[in-house]
């Protein structure tokens, strides 16, 4: 029972979401850490730092998703193209949220990044679940 819940592939959306939430959490740490280091120590603009952090987190997320969360239904090239297209959408949402929170609402960039991560989580899961790994 524990093995099935934790290790075996599953098609159950609620278990996939729990796993994706965990995977997304670790990817969010990778993303946020890179973002924070780049804006704090490299004095990088938040948009470029968000791009680099997002891509690092996305790579980590995709790797864990294909081995633990979802079962692929497409050839690898098509799957990577679809994940990339969804990532572009997620990145655009991230930039829009960051712009609004940092430039308009004058909220700290790291706090703004955390808010964007929570909101973009739902975009990424939904798009991957229904278009890539359905």
Q: How far apart are CA 20 and CA 52, in angstroms?
A: 21
pLDDT value, residue 15:
80
Domain span at residue 51? 12-132
Q: What is the pTM of this model?
A: 0.80
pLDDT confidence of residue 62 = 82
3-state secondary structure of 9: coil
pLDDT at 97: 98
In the chain, the number of structural domains is: 1
**Domain annotation covers residue 2:** no
Question: Is residue 5 in a domain?
Answer: no
Within a domain: 1: no
pLDDT < 70: residue spans in the chain: 1-9, 72-74, 134
Q: Tell whether 79 is covered by a domain.
A: yes
Does 23 reside within a domain? yes
* pLDDT at res. 44: 97
Alpha helices (runs of H) in the chain, residue ranges in sequence order? 2-6, 13-40, 46-64, 76-98, 109-127
Q: Is residue 126 part of a domain?
A: yes
* Residue at 91 is within a domain: yes
Report pLDDT digits (tens) over 67-94: 887 776 667 788 788 888 999 999 999 9
**7 domain residue, yes or no:** no
């Amino acid at each position: 029972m524990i093995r099935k819940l934790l290790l075996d592939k599953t098609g159950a959306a609620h278990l996939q979401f729990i796993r994706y939430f965990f995977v997304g959490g670790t990817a969010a740490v990778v993303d946020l850490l890179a973002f924070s280091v780049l804006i704090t120590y490299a004095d990088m603009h938040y948009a470029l730092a968000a791009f680099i952090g997002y891509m690092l987190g996305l790579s980590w997320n995709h790797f864990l998703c294909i081995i633990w969360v979802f079962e692929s239904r497409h050839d690898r090239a098509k799957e990577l193209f679809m994940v990339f297209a969804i990532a572009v959408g997620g990145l655009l949402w991230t930039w829009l949220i960051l712009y609004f929170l940092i430039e308009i609402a004058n909220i700290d960039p790291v706090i703004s990044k955390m808010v964007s991560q929570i909101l973009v989580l739902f975009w990424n899961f939904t798009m991957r679940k229904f278009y890539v790994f359905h």
